[in-house]
Structure 1
């Protein structure tokens, strides 16, 4: 009888302990979820740290754009998406890869508004920290090879930084908080893991990077990872169709976002990206990405501002370049960020 009472007492202690731990775990999980929902709070510490670093850099600045003040908005989060032309089939052929898709996303935390700005990869721009111009997707090379990095990791980090700073300078020196870089294999895997993307294809699509094979017929259909990537990259055989490709990319991202939101998959996106570490680079923590994913659930992408850099193509020294329209550039900065600027170079 005594043993029964002792066991009953021990059982109560065990159950009580387990319940206490469970309550604590639920409480902590709820607290973390609430914290992540406050996107601005999550990024306050990050922005403070990076603002201090930015001020330090500007004080020491001896680069090509010396004296130019960087514009910082505490109620905006700007991040740059970079899609690199790298996949498994090219690793042994090429030494370096380029960010052929460049999209800057700006979130207005006051209005929950979002703007997306796409850059043609052949845009001729001033390269940050350098004295001259080149195609915008060459900025990674300048940072990687000439940015002063010693190790492979440092060289890659400098490559990303040069791309970020080049885009920043083009957009009136707006501060860019974060970046996410992904190669083609990672993007294909992400779409496949989502089960594909259901969207309308405007015309029969042919993959000219792989011999002109048909990748998708005209009409509504579910595109797998390969097809979705081919749709985004498609510019036919005309190298001057980058503006059309940029607009198609924005449309595709809008459809992708809506599908993720409708399927309640936005909160899973940071974890998916974390699974592709060999294909993805970012300066954001998993917590910061999770906060953004939760914030994205309340954004209305139907009212998103979609912008493509305006300009014309020209042949110069046997190279084709996209020459941005300077007035359109100034007007775009005014429209999206609300301030006037005069290009310094």
Structure 2
């Protein structure tokens, strides 16, 4: 009987392990990375993960009937977050990097052995596209994620231990596996032409399809900028974390079904085995939502391009804090609607949609990608560094956070 039970657990574990799309990207990340002397084990040290949302339209991700269009021919990192888990497992900081940030993108190697050209002052989300090339297969996705990882390491001087990639279909599947998520919508959303999302202000329970719309929407809400969309993506991620923490899976079958649905939605680097994911999940559970902080990397309008942003000195302070495993400094609060105000990031005014991935596009960039990867306008950003404005935004976000708690 004992042998039967142990064998059953072993087979189940192997089956779950096989559900994860794990790839070894170490060979293409190159030498001289930050933290080369760190041990492979996560135990007893801070962990930094790069969470990427891919906007590929291949297969089940063709959510807006734009598959095959040259505008969405390759995948970009539509969402990028650095997730820092403190060494004592008492705190988690999640820092979003705006896709329109101008950064230096290093030369990258792909799993196929190709080498990409380095780019000076390239748009951040094009790093993923540079590595992925024109492919949408898993090998291309991993190559794109590895190039984005190298770009983040060069930007932050922080060792990224592993990456996680979730595409459109994966996000929708994860939300449905959680039984939906409850969140507070800060302002009315009306976007009939792009995502089709219509939501009133207040508490809502979103299923997978609606959650995907919410994470992508930028028309008919706010100022129409990609930076304002970060707040909604962080709000959704926060809601997903709360749902996962509160989920009560009593039966073995229910637990197994939930695990398979979530694991199949992920593409990860080799350090995130099933055991590592289970350990990290336990750590997140112990930290709790009160000690999970969502922020956006502080940026300002690029002096030479009003439609792009660059990291500020405050951004350096954020990355230094993570390098030293310290809390993110005050004044860098996020605007996720649950944990603080996006006081260090610029606001933006709406402009014609030449770079959104919300729906079918018509304007192509000069490099063959969509206009979000070219030098065409996607937003007009203006810095909001005034202390009074920061305080006002923080107070507004605190009110949203209070309202969000009532949605649970």
Q: TM-score, normalised by structure 2?
A: 0.60
Structure 1 position 232, deviation (Å): 2.4
Which residue of structure 2 lines up, in the alignment, with residue 245 of structure 1? Answer: 229
Which residue of structure 2 lines up, in the alignment, with residue 80 of structure 1? Answer: 50
Which residue of structure 2 lines up, in the alignment, with residue 180 of structure 1? Answer: 164
Which residue of structure 2 lines up, in the alignment, with residue 168 of structure 1? Answer: 153
Structure 1 position 145, deviation (Å): 3.4
Instruction: Decide which structure has the larger Cα Rg and report it.
Output: 1
Q: In 2, are the aligned partners of 1:79 and 1:178 still within 8 Å (CA)?
A: yes
> Could you tell me how far apart the structure 2 residues matched to 1:138 and 1:291 are?
32
> Could you tell me how far apart the structure 1 residues matched to 2:130 and 2:238 are?
32
Q: Deviations over 1:32-87 (max 9, x none)?
A: 9xxxxxxxxxxxxxxxx96xx79x9436xxxxxxxx75476550111111111232
Q: Which runs of 5+ in 1 are unaligned?
A: 1-18, 33-48, 60-67, 341-345
> Could you tell me how far apart the structure 1 residues matched to 2:217 and 2:281 are?
28
Q: In 2, are the aligned partners of 1:72 and 1:175 still within 8 Å (CA)?
A: no
Which residue of structure 2 lines up, in the alignment, with residue 274 of structure 1? Answer: 263
Which residue of structure 2 lines up, in the alignment, with residue 126 of structure 1? Answer: 104
Q: Do the aligned partners of residues 193 and 306 (structure 1) sit closer, same or farther apart at CA in structure 2, a change above 3 Å counting? A: closer
Q: TM-score, normalised by structure 1?
A: 0.70
SS at match of 1:298: helix
Q: Which runs of 5+ in 2 are unaligned?
A: 14-24, 40-44, 108-117, 327-408
> Could you tell me how far apart the structure 2 residues matched to 1:144 and 1:229 are?
23
Superposition RMSD in Å: 3.6
Which residue of structure 2 lines up, in the alignment, with residue 225 of structure 1? Answer: 208
Which residue of structure 2 lines up, in the alignment, with residue 11 of structure 1? Answer: none
SS at match of 1:312: strand
The one of 163, 177, 186 equivalent to 1:202 is 186
Higher helix share: 1
> Could you tell me how far apart the structure 1 residues matched to 2:197 and 2:130 are?
36
> Could you tell me how far apart the structure 2 residues matched to 1:101 and 1:80 are?
10
Q: Deviations over 1:94-113 (max 9, x none)?
A: 32111111011111132432
The one of 318, 321, 333 equivalent to 1:332 is 318
Number of residue pairs matched by the alignment? 285
> Could you tell me how far apart the structure 1 residues matched to 2:261 and 2:281 are?
12
Q: In 1, are the aligned partners of 2:180 and 2:208 still within 8 Å (CA)?
A: yes
Which residue of structure 2 lines up, in the alignment, with residue 9 of structure 1? Answer: none
Q: In 2, are the aligned partners of 1:204 and 1:214 still within 8 Å (CA)?
A: no
Q: In 2, are the aligned partners of 1:267 and 1:293 still within 8 Å (CA)?
A: no
SS at match of 1:210: coil
Q: Do the aligned partners of residues 209 and 85 (structure 1) sit closer, same or farther apart at CA in structure 2, a change above 3 Å counting? A: farther
Greater Cα offset, 97-106 or 238-247: 238-247
Structure 1 position 189, deviation (Å): 2.3
Which residue of structure 2 lines up, in the alignment, with residue 46 of structure 1? Answer: none
Q: Do the aligned partners of residues 186 and 152 (structure 1) sit closer, same or farther apart at CA in structure 2, a change above 3 Å counting? A: closer
Which residue of structure 2 lines up, in the alignment, with residue 157 of structure 1? Answer: 142
